[in-house]
Amino acid sequence: MKAAVIGAGAVGARLARQLVSTEQVDAVVLRDERASRLDAVTASLGAVSRSDRGGYADPVDAEVVVLAGPVGSHVQQARAFVGRNQHVVSTSDDLSEVRGLLDLDIEARERGVAVVVGAGFCPGLTCVLVAHAASRFDVVDEIHVAKAGTGGPACARQHHRALGHMAIDWREGGWIQRPPGSGRELCWFPDPIGAQDCYRAALPDARLLVPAFPGVRRVTSRVAATRRDRLTAGLPMLWPTHPEGGPGAVRIEVRGHRDRAHDVVVFGAIDRPAVAAGAVGAVAALWAVDRRLRRSGAGGLAELAEPGPFLGELARRGVRSAVFQGDAQPVA
């Protein structure tokens, strides 16, 4: 199997490492505009990988192309690669970009290829966790997603942008725009992240989850933020970002009915966001080529992946998920 990774940043490099360590992968082609970064990452991956100086959307010899480059270019690249009958996996967590990628659904279905949208830590791992939690219910009423932490510098910039733009919530069959930085909620992530104040932001999770759960009444997503994050959300980033990010966490809460009784399931995970996103993107790429996804076309992992085996493969690669067993009270 041949794969291409567009973008050799924190996520792209981890994703390529996951691919080269997979037995069935014969070659991984890496592209990045930063020549020195590209050479360094390629050299660290060994003989299976090679660098490519082509433009991001130029033709590449690969069955699947993973888009892990700068936000804002994924739709154009995905359209080009789908047009060449190649599977596409995007790690983008930009709301408008996710909308654009989902719009490729008809063309991707016609061509029999998959466009996996939001294959990262959040969205991505969160979508799979939601699908796994939903499988425990007869009817899913509400889905709430939260994340803490960022991957590399590009992820940190996206986090900053998201806190400055309108959020969307799904409520009773319709989309509602909400001000960014509103809706504070104390979310409890797995230790050592623990309790974090989380707020609404321009996050794509609801856009990816609603099509997967017809009839769901409420879908919300929030991101952990500090007072400084919220205060400076409307300004350019005023401080340098960490090259690799720190530890992060995700938490999903699904409320619904089982045997005519209300219940709540809470799943979470803790990892370095770039590492976890790399594993999720790599498994999505492998499943796309192996035709293990539920259908062709564009969609999130909640729609496309069988959650149990997907989480099992992630656990084998070191990304482990957890269930909260407490006394969270279901809403009547």
Partner 1 sequence: MRMIRKALAALAMAGLIAAVLRLRGTGGTPPQEGGWRELSGPELS
Please report, as ranges, the residues that interact with partner 1 according to CB under 8 A. Answer: 183-188, 190-191, 195, 267-268, 308-309, 311-312, 315, 320-329
Residue 146: its H or E element? strand 139-148
Rounded to whole angstroms, the Cα distance separating 142 from 130 reads: 10
Rounded to whole angstroms, the Cα distance separating 54 from 63 reads: 17
Rounded to whole angstroms, the Cα distance separating 223 from 149 reads: 8
**In 210-291, which ranges are continuous DSSP H helix?**
227-231, 273-289
The minimum distance between CB 108 and partner 1, in angstroms, equals 28
Residue 332 CB-half CA count within 13 A: 0
Contact 332, 263 (CB under 8 A): no
The minimum distance between CB 230 and partner 1, in angstroms, equals 15
C-beta of 36 vs 325, nearer to partner 1 = 325
The minimum distance between CB 58 and partner 1, in angstroms, equals 39
Rounded to whole angstroms, the Cα distance separating 88 from 67 reads: 7
The minimum distance between CB 250 and partner 1, in angstroms, equals 12
User: How remote is the C-alpha of 117 from its chain's centroid?
Assistant: 7
The minimum distance between CB 291 and partner 1, in angstroms, equals 20
CB within 8 A of 164, min separation 6: which ones? 180, 202, 233, 234
C-beta of 101 vs 130, nearer to partner 1 = 130
C-beta of 10 vs 252, nearer to partner 1 = 252
C-beta of 96 vs 324, nearer to partner 1 = 324
C-beta of 24 vs 325, nearer to partner 1 = 325
The minimum distance between CB 132 and partner 1, in angstroms, equals 8
C-beta of 55 vs 308, nearer to partner 1 = 308
The amino acid sitting at 265 is V
